[in-house]
Chains A and B, each alone.
Chain A
């Protein structure tokens, strides 16, 4: 009996390791609070933007210009470098119809892969938790790295998803980090992700986060300017450091990093130099094999939904594309439906 158990567990472990050495890796970064997409990828030439953002407006002299009248927030130098190197994709106008503008409910939609938020007490799993459940017994295809409680995204029915604060939670002697990471929480989490990747422990999907629990640091209802810049700098510099690190030994080509936030913000600045809860927002994609540049059109600002950009790209199509084209996992069972693949890879 004991030999059978050991043989079984050994086989499962071997399967996971084989998958890791040859497999692609997905790194998902959750941005809590509802990131202001309009001051992240800035439509600086758009008159609607110029008129509505009375004090928060970023001018053509301030933004880091991309193309088509769009520019990155000036705090995003790291993303601008990646963009210039052809390693950053910006998927525009992402969301779902009639987006839920409540923090918890909106985030739960992104976390579960549904467009209807779970009811209180409803027994639900996260979309990455379902990926973990689809793995063989004894495997660890998904892990959460961060200092908050594990988000609903990795809630599984059957599997136990690792919750990692630091690499030594799992590995006695983590691989030495040669690269330089800023002393920022997201950067340190991504550094841990890089260590775990190099340790070849079989994880195919890492979830990490910036902004903490609900409502999160991206929720800027007042005095947005300075705080948002700090948040975007952390995101940009952390991801850039991570990408730079992975380029050293060829891991970058195996990695796709994507961000999401529960919603964007309204177009019109409020009376407190902040913004209200919105709808569609851009998703950032970084990696060695992504399609670089702007993907899809910027959501028009002339036809808004309760003063917020309307989404034209369903986030579940992004999930389906990532699951199928990047991880090689069937998406229908995980997302409960079929979605068209998006052109996010080179």
Chain B
């Protein structure tokens, strides 16, 4: 399995992935990766218990946003959580939802954004963090600009970037004629047409 194939598989099945997770999938091969993503991990029961402990029926909106972000970024069974949380919203159209867009970048670079801050930016893009809503026409002239600005904020928080080859595999679905590396390359890809698609 090529890095591009592995990235495509992970992009469709998880909220996001790191360069290490991408390398692991490449080494593991397509079949084993598929099996691993589909199987309920042993650690998932403990994770569910942990989330249940954090869940309060009277939780505020901010608490719910915290929890959903925590779940998305730390669940050991992302494929299941993604499908049950907003699978239908994500799959109906081929465009990344705002949540997927933000989480793809955040997880790839290990960036933590304050949930309230992130929530406000997602609302502007047409989606609430804890309530993915319905499929929408996510892309227009305004949301493209807003996505590029959000990407700049996330990328701006990255301390250390993967090398050019890993970064390309991490974010792009195919070879892109883009120059530079590090922050410049990451921002160029994240703002590109290419990165908007699942």
Contact = CB atoms under 8 A, between A and B. Distances in A.
A170 B137 contact: no
Given A137-B137, A138-B137, A157-B134, A162 B142 contact: yes
A16 interface: yes
B195 to A, nearest CB: 12
A250 to B, nearest CB: 24
Interface in A138-192: 138-140, 143, 149, 156-160, 162-164, 169-171
B197 A5 contact: yes
A13 B139 CA distance: 11
A299 B136 CA distance: 43
B137 A158 contact: yes
B36 to A, nearest CB: 28
Given A162-B142, A170-B142, A202-B141, A2 B136 contact: no
Contacts of B140: 138-140, 159-160, 162
Interface in B89-118: none
Task: Place the interface of chain A in its size category.
Answer: 20 to 34
A323 interface: no
Q: Which label, helix, strand, loop or mixed, suits the secondary structure of the B interface?
A: helix
A116 interface: no
A149 B128 CA distance: 13
B125 A6 contact: no
Nearest to A172: B145
Given A138-B140, A140-B140, A5 B193 contact: yes
A171 B141 CA distance: 10
Contact of A160 (B136, B193, B194, B197): B136
A344 interface: no
Q: Which label, helix, strand, loop or mixed, suits the secondary structure of the A interface?
A: loop
A201 interface: yes
B73 to A, nearest CB: 24
A170 B193 contact: no
B81 to A, nearest CB: 24
A9 interface: yes
A157 B134 CA distance: 8
Contacts of A143: 142
B143 A160 contact: yes
A160 B126 contact: yes
B47 interface: no
Contacts of B125: 160
A13 B142 CA distance: 11
A160 B145 contact: no
Interface string B73-84: 000000000000
10 contacts: A5-B193, A139-B140, A140-B142, A159-B136, A160-B126, A160-B136, A162-B140, A164-B142, A169-B146, A170-B145
Given A156-B136, A160-B138, A160-B143, 4 more contacts: A9-B193, A160-B137, A160-B142, A169-B146
Interface of A: 2, 5-6, 9, 13, 16, 137-140, 143, 149, 156-160, 162-164, 169-171, 201-202
Closest 6 CB pairs of A and B: A160-B126, A162-B142, A140-B140, A163-B124, A137-B137, A140-B141
